[in-house]
Amino acid sequence: MSELLLRVRDLKTYFVTEQGGGTARAVDGVSFDLHAGETLGIVGESGCGKTVTSLSLLRLVPEPPGHILPGSFIELEGRNLLVLAPKQLRAIRGNEMAMIFQEPMTSLNPVFTVGDQIAEAAIVHQRLGRRAARARAIEMLVLVGIPDPETRVDAYPHQLSGGMRQRVMIAMALVCHPKVLIADEPTTALDVTIQAQILELLDRLQAELGMAVILITHDLGIVAGTVDRVLVMYAGEVVETATTPELFARPLHPYTEGLLASVPRLDTPLPRRRLHSIPGQVPAATAWPSGCRFHPRCPYAWARCAAEQPPLLDAGTGDPASHLVRCWLLAEPARRTRTSPP
């Protein structure tokens, strides 16, 4: 196993809400490891906490109303990120750990050229002069596959298409050859043919630069094709984690099962049948259900599920901690019979 880059233990990020709603426990105890060269996928629907997790890693969560609880632990190559002074933290952002976002149009500053924006990271972190930084920006444009880079470097974001802008964002993130790249739904706003291009680009860049990638998405298809290891999140917690082949071959958590069964796919036989759907809806972060947070929507739930929150249990693949599931079914497998129709 390649070197361990990032260690996250028991990350908790809470938000204080204005109304009498109380505290939103957006991320409630997330732990994972990230190794060099690995792609980790964080998958979940809206409200599960995946975006807040990624923002917490770089401490980009707005301090009021959000705060990362003491007791949370984020370590990048041995350094605890949560105790760093702002200056040291800035030295890491964009330099050793970088992030790209979902909406390239709003993430790029419309009044600066793309060249300026790419060069900015180089100027700040590597202290390059303007000329050298511009040359570097052109290099990066070549790296991300933008045609005609010498002219494009002076273009403004609105002059580029969505796919191009996303490539520019990737270029900005990679200027300083970060060790970790966090990609938050990088292709959700793009057309599917452009999405394929961008995913292929990320794949290639990861191989060339040897960096680790955390890919956040709601699309299980992307997860299957791009990711080495998966974290499935629900209601602020990790409910299942496994390698990609293992997760798709043996989804053990009822939520993962439900998700996989409810995604429309190209490879199921026609004539089509009704899609499986998970009943109910995602609960509000201010009021997670008691016990197992998924129990109100779970077809297998029984009394224990409402009363006690399950810890992450080992699915017994032989490789310890390689497939973990937060579900009492692992302790009582006989209960895996449906109590409500699918």
Partner 1 sequence: MTTGFPLVLVHNLVKRFPAGRGLWGFGRLRGVVAAVDDVSFHIPPGQTLGLVGESGCGKTTVGRTILRLVEPDGGRVVVDGADIFALKAPELRAVRRRMQIVFQDPYGSLNPRMSVRQTLAEPLAIHRLANGGRGERERRIDALLEEVGLDRRLAGSYPHELSGGQRQRVGIARALSVEPKFLVLDEPVSALDVSVQAQVLNLLSDLQERRHLTYLFIAHDLAVVRQIADEVAVMYLGKLVERAPAAILYRSPRHPYTASLLSAVPVPDPNAQRQRIVLTGDVPSPAHPPRGCAFHPRCPHPKKDERCRTVPPPLREVAAGQLAACHYAAEPM
| 264 is an interface residue for partner 1 by CB under 8 A | yes
User: Least distance to partner 1 from the beta carbon of 147, Å?
Assistant: 8
* Closer by beta carbon to partner 1, 30 or else 223: 223
AA letter at 167: R
Which range touches partner 1 (CB under 8 A), out of 101-109, 125-133, 150-158, 219-227?
219-227
Judge whether 169 and 88 are in contact, CB under 8 Å: no
Q: Among all chains, which residue has been given the structure tokens 């070549």?
A: 142
Distance between CA atoms of 113 and 124, rounded to whole angstroms? 17
**100 strand-pairing partners:** 183
Which range touches partner 1 (CB under 8 A), out of 67-75, 91-99, 185-193, 329-337?
185-193
What three-state secondary structure class fits 233? strand
Judge whether 39 and 212 are in contact, CB under 8 Å: yes
| 105 is an interface residue for partner 1 by CB under 8 A | no
Q: Among all chains, which residue has been given the structure tokens 């920006």?
A: 137
Q: Which of 282, 286, 289, 317 binds partner 1 (CB under 8 A)?
A: 282
| 46 is an interface residue for partner 1 by CB under 8 A | yes
| 161 is an interface residue for partner 1 by CB under 8 A | yes
- Please give the sequence-ordered ranges of beta strands (E in DSSP) within the chain, or none if there are none: 4-16, 23-35, 39-43, 66-68, 73-76, 79-80, 97-100, 180-184, 212-217, 229-234, 237-243, 313-314, 324-325
Which range touches partner 1 (CB under 8 A), out of 73-81, 148-156, 204-212, 243-251?
243-251
Distance between CA atoms of 36 and 174, rounded to whole angstroms? 15
User: Least distance to partner 1 from the beta carbon of 52, Å?
Assistant: 16
User: Least distance to partner 1 from the beta carbon of 231, Å?
Assistant: 16
Q: Which of 126, 244, 286, 322 binds partner 1 (CB under 8 A)?
A: 244
| 263 is an interface residue for partner 1 by CB under 8 A | yes
CA distances 87 to 69, 84, 93, Å, are 21, 8, 10
* Closer by beta carbon to partner 1, 50 or else 125: 50
Where along the sequence are the contacts to partner 1 (CB under 8 A)? Answer: 45-46, 161-164, 191-197, 199-200, 218-225, 244-245, 248, 258-260, 262-267, 270-272, 274-279, 281-282
